[in-house]
Chains A and B, each alone.
Chain A
Amino acid sequence: MAILVGIMVAGSVYLILGRNLIRFIFGLVLASNAVNLLLFTGGRLSNPAPPLIPPDALTPAGPVANALPQALMLTAIVIGFALLVFIFVLFYRAYQEIGTVDTEFMRLAEPVDAVTPGPTCSIEPEEV
């Protein structure tokens, strides 16, 4: 399972490092999933029984799965989703205004000048 987390992290990092914003977002989705799986694995996978208390008992009967990381993950999943939606809309608007999905050309905050040379090519030369 740890290796799967590793693969997901590797994939997301590669996507995030790309210049295309769409792939950047894919990387973000992947990273969010990877972190959730990391939390889950960190809580150990030894007990397949869900953390429920049977109707006739005061405490869970026998060993159950770790409830704490599950609760944290639930929060993380929902917040990750909210963040994703916001970022997605933000990027979409940015694309509409700037007309590119190439991060090297999104330079309103840090314009190209003598100190920071701009990119030599665009990933979407034919884009309007």
Chain B
Amino acid sequence: MEGKLPARVRWHYLAALLPAGLFALLGANLPATAGGQIWNWQVDWVAGLGATLGLRLDGLSMLFGLVITAVGTLVTVYSGAYIGGHRNTGRYQILLQSFMVAMLGLVLADNLILLFIFWELTTFTSFLLIGFEHDRTDARESARQALFVTGAGGLAMLAGFILIGQAAGSYSLTEVLTHGNRLTRDPRYPIILVLVLAGAFTKSAQFPFHFWLPNAMTAPTPISAFLHSATMVKAGIYLLARLHPVMSGPPAWTTTLTLFGAVTALTGAIMAFGQTDLKRILAYTTLMALGMLTLFLGGTHTAALVAAMTFFLVHALYKSALFLVVGILDHETGTRRLDAVRGLRRPMPWTAAAALAAALSMAGFPLFFGFVGKEIMYDGALSMDFLPGPVTVVAVAANTLMTAVAGILFVRPFLGRLDAAGTAIHEAPPPLFGGPLLLGGTGILFGIIPGWVSRWLIQPAVHAMGQDGSPVTLSLFHGLSLPLLLSIITLTVGVGCYLSRHTLARLVFQGTRVWPLPLESAYQGVLRGILGIGRWQTRWLQNGSLHRYLFVIIAAFVGLSTWALAAGGQWPAPGGIPELALREWLLVGLEAAAVVAVVMTRTRLVAISGLGVVGAGLALIFLIFGAPDVALTQLMVETLTVIIVAVILLRLPDLRSRECGDRPVRIADGLLALAAGTAVAVMLINATAAPLDRGVTAFYEQQSLVAAHGRNIVNVILVDFRALDTLGEITVVALAGLSAFALIRRERNGRGGPWER
């Protein structure tokens, strides 16, 4: 496309210093971890929750950390050229580096809670990165799908972690890992297993949660290379490997992991044939790899774990290289369709070389690291605890299909004749093809020196998984053994599959039509159901009717207070009728009658009079029980209220036609009103039955004259002790008066406000 990069994208290369620096830092510690040392760093964080900010670096974390930082560096450099010039490049780089740091934190965390937090951070950054092209609907939906699926799994995992913390007595991985089989003997082990596997399986896209991964291919291609092949989807694998020493062993672990892994691997390998989008092909082959990794982690023998760790490395190298190659094709030709272009080896020799190296490693040709990985996979499959025979068959079948897919991925776009439209295509700039070339080259290098890889990378990782110190050696040639025979079968049949790829693709296509997997529609159904519940409860609770709102609020008040009363169990002693004089009884009776009148009447005048009686009666009650100031105020306010009500009421319609429609509703209202009244009365009786603490009143009584020089205690409280309260009160009155005045004035001006029609 362009020979020279715009200046504004050069700063991307600065961003690559972060992952590169971290890579160097990890690499400097390689001798230590290879020697079995564990580097530990702790800071107290939320001590009450047992959450410490602890990091821990052992062989397993080292292997994952090196892959994360190495691929991260290459992807950052690549991104500069790939996405440079996009208007949101800044956000892209921030998200990419945030993800990288979160992922590194995940594999370095020593505390389970910390691990969970990093886990969720990768989920969020992944959500934002998948939805980077947020003006596209499919990108938004894929992002949301990935967030929901992995987020739900993450929550389950957190519950599992808390149970682990309770069973093991600590959230520190260092401590949990010393407990041996304490977890597997715990009665909560089955629950822990289900919860932790839910987290790992959703993150690592295991069947039946695998559907989000192919959809996540809406992300920019370097993101797919980084997140959805080399790192984030391996977080589940990391978790399984991390907890392998303390959780593996029981048949539940072995069986579940083997079965789910095998199903995922076969589903991915078969579905890869039915795709025409290069990225989706890669996504399905990633599923196959994740399935195989899960399967091997179901084993307990060293061979299976060596296979898992080796294949993890093999896959990270070739798959991210292939993703980056597809990104180049997309970038330079504008299409990711498998059949769109041919013969690209001529205009794009470097990219073709990178693709060839990666594809041969994927196919497992001798001399490539993939071949070493495949040999060791068969070794591991034969050592499985659960159904070693069928597992070996699954491994051979999946690898065979991988060989064929590798063929398709390289041969289709790069070989053949370049058509006329293709002559305008140029080689990508070095930052683009450099990454995949380096990754592909590493695949060859590791294939040549497998002993070095096993000594420094694989063996420390396997030893960190609790295997005894027996040395692990990888070599290119294992001698004439069953794995070698299986490798030969794989290559031969794989080539056969490649040749008959059209038939296979048709079969897969028809198969998915005849027997479609309802998983995605099940997910959509659940989503629709949740939205439906939301709409239903909005319709029911928030229908815009004031009556409904008030009814719900008051009913909640009655319900809660009744519950509190019933739970408190402190009902007033019977016979507590107070000794009241006759005039007091008459007053109470008058008040009650006035209330009834206000409620029942249909004429405004009766209602106003009733209110007046209630207010004036209240003033009398205050007077009788020693509150002359309050009585005075009450009388004044009551008079004013009645006057104002009377003035305004004359301008409002009458109280007629109460009988609008729904009589049952009014009966329900009446019952609720009675219940509310009863609840308040009972609570008040209860409250007055309890002894009163007059401490505050006593203070005012003592200090009123001495400190404030006033003999009317109530007045002193208002204007002296609590003068600020009174100031606030006056402000409220003034504001209310001003607002009322403003409203009335608007009317006088005659010109309406927002309601004018």
Residues of chain A having any CB pair with chain B under 8 Å: 1-11, 13-20, 22-23, 25-26, 29-30, 33-34, 36-38, 40-45, 47-55, 57-60, 64-68, 70-71, 73-75, 77-86, 88-90, 92-98, 101, 103-104, 106-112, 115-117, 119-125, 127
Contact = CB atoms under 8 A, between A and B. Distances in A.
Given A5-B680, A77-B637, A116 B543 contact: yes
- Among B655, B666, B680, B746, the one with the most A-chain Cβ atoms within 10 Å of its Cβ is B680
B614 A8 contact: yes
A92 B651 contact: yes
Interface of B is mostly: helix
A125 B618 contact: no
Contacts of B509: none
Contacts, number: 292
A19 to B, nearest CB: 6
A42 B684 contact: yes
8 contacts: A33-B614, A53-B705, A53-B712, A59-B702, A66-B694, A93-B744, A97-B753, A115-B543
Given A10-B676, A14-B599, A40-B622, 20 more contacts: A1-B621, A2-B684, A9-B673, A11-B677, A13-B676, A18-B669, A20-B655, A45-B625, A51-B626, A52-B713, A55-B711, A66-B692, A67-B714, A93-B747, A94-B755, A97-B752, A110-B542, A111-B544, A116-B542, A124-B653
B733 A98 contact: no
Nearest to B648: A92
B701 A60 contact: yes
A68 B592 CA distance: 27
A89 B744 contact: yes
A109 to B, nearest CB: 8
B726 A29 contact: no
A88 to B, nearest CB: 6
A88 B685 contact: no
B630 A73 contact: yes
Interface of B: 535, 538-539, 542-547, 550-551, 554, 578, 588, 591-592, 595-596, 598-599, 604, 607, 611, 614-615, 618, 621-622, 624-630, 633-634, 637, 640-641, 644-645, 648-649, 651-653, 655-658, 660-661, 666, 669-670, 672-674, 676-678, 680-682, 684-685, 687-688, 692, 694, 696-697, 700-702, 704-706, 711-714, 717-718, 722, 725-726, 729, 732-733, 735-737, 739-740, 743-744, 746-747, 752-756
A22 B604 contact: yes
Contacts of B550: 16-17
A53 B637 contact: no
Contacts of B681: 2-3, 5-6, 9
Given A1-B578, A29-B611, A53 B711 contact: yes
A15 B598 contact: yes
Nearest to B726: A75
A81 B640 contact: yes
Contacts of B621: 1, 37, 40
B544 A11 contact: no
Nearest to A84: B641
Contact of A26 (B611, B630, B700, B753): B611
Nearest to A4: B588
Contacts of A111: 544
- Among A60, A71, A106, the one with the most B-chain Cβ atoms within 10 Å of its Cβ is A71
- Among B611, B626, B704, the one with the most A-chain Cβ atoms within 10 Å of its Cβ is B626
- Among A29, A37, A112, A115, the one with the most B-chain Cβ atoms within 10 Å of its Cβ is A29
